[in-house]
């Protein structure tokens, strides 16, 4: 059984891409077959895994989606890259912006395009992780429609209550289209527990959303070492294997695996 997880938040800079990459590599380290999909036109996940110029790539996620939209036959495994740390990657780049504009004009089942593609990959992988763009546009809606669950990284330094509530409302609306969708958990990221504000944000999340959604026991601490990995093209497990962020992502991996046993 393959599980599809969307990593999403309407706000950028919350550790979304870092979580997608490190959770995927963490799961691969446990013997799972993992595909990462970069569904962000910025190509941040592709960049963070060491592919330095996503916009010059010959074949990316945008090309796949274009084939699905136009109903042209395609090889679902074309363009998938194999990363040295054991995960596969379907790269993304700026061409996804054009795909998002195209999706708006699709008349029938426009929110199902991701799902049609991913359905052809499920037999190959244990986990498919989608790194979503920081918005609530058609690409994100497609990711939610294709996913089994959503992990929501939230930075423990600033919380836009209005924006976050809008995000949650969108998730709940997508559940009408995808009844099996659920929030796997809210993940607190970049936590500096020495600051009063970080503790305040965590308490606000627990108070306002703890009764509606699961909150991961794992918190991802702030670390300069973690901020370095995007430029190095490797995971935190390779860059700083004994560091606090590496231990945190190891713990998150264990929590996600434990959910499958419950």
The length of the chain, given as a count of residues:
262
**How far apart are the C-alpha atoms of 216 and 229, rounded to whole Å?**
23
Query: In this predicted model, what pLDDT tens digit does every residue of 84-132 receive, in sequence order?
Result: 999 999 999 999 999 999 998 887 889 999 999 999 999 999 999 999 9
pLDDT value at position 18?
A: 93
Is 90 exceeded by the pLDDT of residue 70? yes
The reported pTM is 0.94
Tokens 């969307």 correspond to: 6
Tokens of 153: 């990284």
Tokens 């010059």 correspond to: 56
Task: Count the Cβ atoms, other than its own, within 10 Å of residue 246.
Answer: 21
How confident is the model over 161-172, as a mean pLDDT? 81
Helical ranges in 85-235 per DSSP H: 95-105, 113-118, 138-146, 161-177, 196-209, 224-232
Is 90 exceeded by the pLDDT of residue 35? yes
pLDDT value at position 225?
A: 74
Q: How confident is the model at residue 239 (pLDDT cuts 50, 70, 90)?
A: confident
Is 80 exceeded by the pLDDT of residue 172? yes
Edge-first strand order for the sheet with 81-82 is: 81-82, 88-90, 34-39, 127-132, 3-7, 149-155, 182-191, 215-221
- CA distance readout (Å), 237 to 11, 44, 180: 26, 18, 32
Quote the CATH superfamily of domain 3-259.
P-loop containing nucleotide triphosphate hydrolases (3.40.50.300)
Average pLDDT, the chain: 91
């Amino acid at each position: 059984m393959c599980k599809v997880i969307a990593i999403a938040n309407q706000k950028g800079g919350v550790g979304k891409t870092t979580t997608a990459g490190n959770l995927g590599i963490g799961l691969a380290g446990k013997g799972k077959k993992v595909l990462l999909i970069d569904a962000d036109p910025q190509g941040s996940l592709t960049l963070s895994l060491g592919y330095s110029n996503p916009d010059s790539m010959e074949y990316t996620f945008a090309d796949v989606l274009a084939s699905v939209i136009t109903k042209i036959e395609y090889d679902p495994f074309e363009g998938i890259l194999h990363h040295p740390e054991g995960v596969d990657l379907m790269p993304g780049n700026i061409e996804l912006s054009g795909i998002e504009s195209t999706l708006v004009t699709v008349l029938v089942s426009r929110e199902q395009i991701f799902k049609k593609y991913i359905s052809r990959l499920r037999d190959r992988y244990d986990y498919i992780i989608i790194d979503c763009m920081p918005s609530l546009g058609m690409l994100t809606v497609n990711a939610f429609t294709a996913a089994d669950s959503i992990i929501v990284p939230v930075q423990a330094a600033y919380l836009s209550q209005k924006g976050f509530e809008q995000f949650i409302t969108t998730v709940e609306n997508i559940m009408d289209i995808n009844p099996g969708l659920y929030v796997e958990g809210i993940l607190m990221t970049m936590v500096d527990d020495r600051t009063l504000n970080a503790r305040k944000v965590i308490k606000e999340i627990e108070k306002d959303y703890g009764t509606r959604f699961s909150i991961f026991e794992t918190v991802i601490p702030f670390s300069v070492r973690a901020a370095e990995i995007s430029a190095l093209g490797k995971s935190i497990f390779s860059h700083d294997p004994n560091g606090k962020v590496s231990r945190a992502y190891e713990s998150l991996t264990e929590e996600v695996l434990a959910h499958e046993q419950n």
